[in-house]
Amino acid sequence: METKSLILLMFLLQAIINGVKPTPNNQAFKCSKNGNFDSDNLLKERDYAFNVLYKNLDTPNSVFPGYEISSGNGIWVTSLCPPHAQHQHCRSCVNTTIPYLKKNCPKQKEGVAWTIYLKVYCMVRYANNPNFGNIAEWGWFTPPATHPPTPANAGELEKALNDLSNQLKEKVKGLNNNKYGTGSINYGPGSKTLYAAMQCIRGIAIEECVKCLSDATNEIHKCCSKLRKTGGIVLSNKCSYWYEHFKFFP
């Protein structure tokens, strides 16, 4: 997990969304390298903030679905799900991710973890500052290596993902939305349909969001399109880019 990119195979097509505990193959984490908490009190404050975060998920957030934030004394915690996620699925995902993150980043000052299901993902992160700025690595998730590649060549898939990226960044930049965009495009032999979604966290400046999504597009090529993967998702602690050859959003 200390490499720049966290490359994990996940059983994406075999996951069941209704509360089944994910396997380690569809979870990833990253801890900061800027030191550990120097007191047990701060760890208790982190746990308190996690508890508040989970309780906040009891009430759906109609303004920005899937996003919650809580804080303790000097600790900030956030969670994020796609806006299309059903409330109970987001809540279950976050509830699974919190202990996973605490286990793998037991004392570090900052950490982030992701959990992926078939049509929903979530992110949970914490830090000793409100900017969450000390983790720049990406999480990569792809279908199992045994899954056959797309019939399109890598160049066709890469171009389709670039075209979708440009479309979705414009949607994410739109007013009165959740910094979330979805879309589809036909490409390659047999006019295959490619579905994709992009998302940024709340509170991020539009310029920073667009830059993160551009970086995500570069990451999706490294993990997935160059290998002709039928699907994949890349996530940082600020944004995500997900594509599939089936429709995973409403």
pLDDT for 57 beyond 90: no
For residue 146, what are the contacts with CB-CB under 8 A and spacing of at least 6?
none
Q: Please give the single-letter amino acid code of residue 194.
A: L
Those residues whose C-beta lies under 8 Å from the C-beta of residue 35, and which sit 6 or more positions away, are: 108, 109
Judged against a pLDDT cut of 70, whether residue 60 lies above it is answered with no
pLDDT at position 148: 84
Q: Tell me the pLDDT tens digit for each residue of 214-231.
A: 999 999 999 999 999 999
Alpha-carbon distance of 200 to 217, in angstroms, equals: 13
Phi/psi at 204 (5° precision): -80, 140
Q: Give me the amino acid identity at 38.
A: D
Q: Is the pLDDT of residue 5 over 70?
A: no
13 φ, ψ (degrees, to nearest 5): -80, -5
Residue partners of 46: CB distance under 8 A and separation at least 6 = 37, 72, 75, 77, 102, 126
Q: Please, is 185 exposed, middle or buried when counting C-beta atoms within 10 Å of its C-beta (0-12, 13-18, 19+)? A: middle
Q: Tell me whether strands 138-142 and 232-235 are parallel, antiparallel or unpaired.
A: antiparallel
Q: If pLDDT is split at 50, 70 and 90, which confidence band does 117 have?
A: confident
Choose between 163 and 142: higher pLDDT: 163
pLDDT at 172 over 50: yes
The confidence score (pLDDT) of residue 74 equals 84
H helix or E strand, kind and range, residue 163: helix 154-173
For 180-226, how does the pLDDT look when each residue is reduced to its tens digit (9 = 90+)?
999 999 998 888 999 999 999 888 889 999 999 999 999 999 999 99
**pLDDT digits 0-9 by tens, 79-94:** 999 988 888 888 889 9
How far, in Å, CA of 79 to CA of 55, rounded? 12
**What is the chain's length?**
250
Task: Check pLDDT > 70 for residue 102.
Answer: yes
CA distance linking residue 120 with residue 198, whole number of Å: 13
Give CA–CA dist 44/106, Å, rounded.
11
Q: 150 and 230 in contact (C-beta within 8 Å)? A: yes
